[in-house]
């Protein structure tokens, strides 16, 4: 656990309380990128903490939701938190992106239940209450978020240009990580998905977010975005090392 805490830059003794939970989520988002490098490279991506924890903590890599939230759940349990792994379904442009549960998010119970997620890219950066649908201002995330519960399912919303966007919905009954093996196979092998053929890395920064795609580096500071064209494969690799310690 200490190697994991050091890898994400979390300082001080962790304890199963709100401050530690919020601090761990923020530190994780700034350190371990949401990325699909191994998916694009091909090969099997295991859906188990035995593979994802060493990848994040020892190899200092990132990954997709099954890896990042799978590893983070193990870290939280090591600290003493009560964690449930919840299956979700991502929406893209208001429509389902997958025919099956394709997202892993976490429920952490303290004095009240919280939604936690370090594997959804540009999203909320602090735990969101599961027992309230009031909007939460997220300064680091750059907008407001809220969670609604209806008929046994939760829904994550984010506010953009004064309108609410549906990001993903999730079940309230916990599952084992093996539940996501069909979705992992679908997402990593479907040739019609950009996810499986176009590389990207993205992580939170102290002042915004940095995202490296195949042809562009995007550095967001507040509401300003600076774009850098990727000139070659060597340039891409240099940017990946500079911003993500990758390669």
User: Which residue out of 101, 103, 122, 179 is catalytically annotated?
Assistant: 103
User: Which residue out of 65, 101, 102, 179 is catalytically annotated?
Assistant: 65
CA distance 247 to 239: 10
User: Which residue out of 117, 122, 167, 179 is catalytically annotated?
Assistant: 117
Residue 103 is a catalytic residue = yes
CA distance 74 to 19: 18
* Cα radius of gyration (the chain): 17
Residue 173 is a catalytic residue = no
Q: Is the CB of residue 121 less than 8 Å from the CB of residue 34?
A: yes
Residue 65 is a catalytic residue = yes
* Residues 6 or more apart whose Cβ sits within 8 Å of residue 198: 36, 40, 213, 214
Catalytic positions, written as ranges: 65, 103, 117
């Amino acid at each position: 656990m200490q190697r994991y805490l050091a890898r994400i830059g979390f300082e001080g003794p962790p304890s199963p309380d709100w401050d530690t939970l919020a601090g761990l989520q923020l530190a994780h988002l700034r350190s371990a990128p949401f990325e699909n490098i191994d998916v694009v490279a091909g090969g099997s991506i295991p859906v188990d903490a035995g593979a994802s924890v060493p990848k994040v903590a020892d190899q200092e890599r990132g990954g997709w939701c099954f890896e990042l939230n799978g590893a983070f759940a193990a870290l939280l349990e090591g600290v003493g938190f009560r964690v449930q792994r919840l299956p979700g379904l991502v929406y893209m442009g208001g429509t389902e992106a997958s025919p099956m549960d394709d997202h892993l998010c976490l429920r952490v119970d303290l004095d009240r239940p919280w939604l936690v997620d370090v594997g959804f890219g540009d999203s909320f950066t602090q735990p969101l209450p599961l027992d309230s649908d009031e909007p939460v201002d997220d300064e680091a995330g750059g907008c407001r978020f809220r969670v609604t519960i209806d008929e046994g399912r939760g829904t994550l919303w984010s506010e953009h240009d004064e309108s609410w966007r549906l990001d993903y919905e999730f079940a309230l009954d916990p599952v084992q990580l093996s539940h996501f093996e069909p979705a992992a196979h679908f997402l990593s092998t479907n040739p019609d998905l950009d996810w499986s053929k176009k590389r990207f890395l993205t992580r939170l920064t102290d002042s915004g977010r940095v995202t490296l795609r195949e042809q562009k580096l995007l550095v967001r500071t507040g509401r300003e975005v600076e774009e850098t064209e990727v000139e070659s494969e060597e340039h891409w690799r240099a940017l990946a090392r500079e911003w993500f310690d990758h390669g």
